[in-house]
Amino acid sequence: MGWADPHDADPAEDSMTIIAPSILSADFARLGEEVRAVAEAGGDWIHLDVMDGHFVPNITFGPALIKALRPHTTKHFDVHLMIAPADPYLAAFAEAGADTISVHVEAGPHIHRSLQTIRALGKRAGIALNPGTPASMVEPVLDLVDLVVCMTVNPGFGGQSFLPSALETVARVRAMAAGRAIDIEVDGGITPETVEAAARAGANVFVAGSGVFGGGPAAYARNIAAIREGANSATGRDGLRC
């Protein structure tokens, strides 16, 4: 099974609500099944958090796992690199099947080069920032990105509580990105209860781990629908992207 060309129907074109289940909260003993299940339940993207135990205090997985999951779905693979340095591994993640690759603005001094490399690999480029990082840090690279990831928890572990203070960053990024085809993603603590505030602040991509995977496979469709409904009710958006 192949995967969708990331440049077909750019998700930023109409700022549709995009729900991206994070496999960090999935059952790692059956990840292929879990990816298929959330895709069938209405997830728009699959979010993959790569951590190195250095940039963030946890270790997750690398390109080999992403490559192994790629045949299980044609859904957009949203790969979030919480690693430093990132540049030596960008080609490997691209070859593994990533559609969007996001690097952290805090992870190195040459972020322009990282983003240019991602785009040269034919992938959508994302820039991520931690809750304590000023939104102004991403302004110099906005012309190079398709996605800005605003962390709404301190990165490293799934299941953390949403940080309302991060919403100011979301709003500032959305204002800076005005007029550009850029998706604004929130990552961390997203549930039906927190998604409305994130959507009102300007986010249109919602990463949810335990908010989707909680309750087991029978609850996935219900959980995804509840998050989507909360986001859409806050903004008046409708529809979904497959």
206 in a labelled binding site: no
* Gap between the Cα atoms of 56 and 51, Å rounded: 6
* Gap between the Cα atoms of 78 and 106, Å rounded: 19
Structure tokens at 134: 């000023």
161 in a labelled binding site: no
Helix (H, G, I), strand (E, B), or coil: what is residue 77?
strand
* Gap between the Cα atoms of 9 and 44, Å rounded: 13
- Residue of 49, 52, 99, 146 marked catalytic: 49
Query: Does residue 99 have an active-site annotation?
Result: no
189 in a labelled binding site: yes
7 in a labelled binding site: no
DSSP state of 59: B
Q: Containing H/E element for 11?
A: none
Phi and psi for 232 in degrees, rounded to 5?
A: -70, -35
DSSP state of 240: -
**Burial of 220 by CB count in 10 Å (0-12 exposed, 13-18 middle, 19+ buried)?**
buried
230 in a labelled binding site: no
157 in a labelled binding site: yes
Q: Are 19 and 200 in contact (CB under 8 A)?
A: no
Phi and psi for 222 in degrees, rounded to 5?
A: -65, -45
159 in a labelled binding site: yes
47 in a labelled binding site: yes
188 in a labelled binding site: yes
* Gap between the Cα atoms of 59 and 28, Å rounded: 14
Q: Are 11 and 18 in contact (CB under 8 A)?
A: yes
Q: Write down how long the chain is.
A: 242
Query: Does residue 44 have an active-site annotation?
Result: no
- Residue of 78, 99, 183, 187 marked catalytic: 187
165 in a labelled binding site: no
Residue list, annotated binding site for a divalent metal cation: 47, 49, 80, 187
Residue list, annotated binding site: 22, 47, 49, 80, 156-159, 187-189, 209-210
Active site residues: 49, 187
Residue list, annotated binding site for substrate: 22, 80, 156-159, 187-189, 209-210
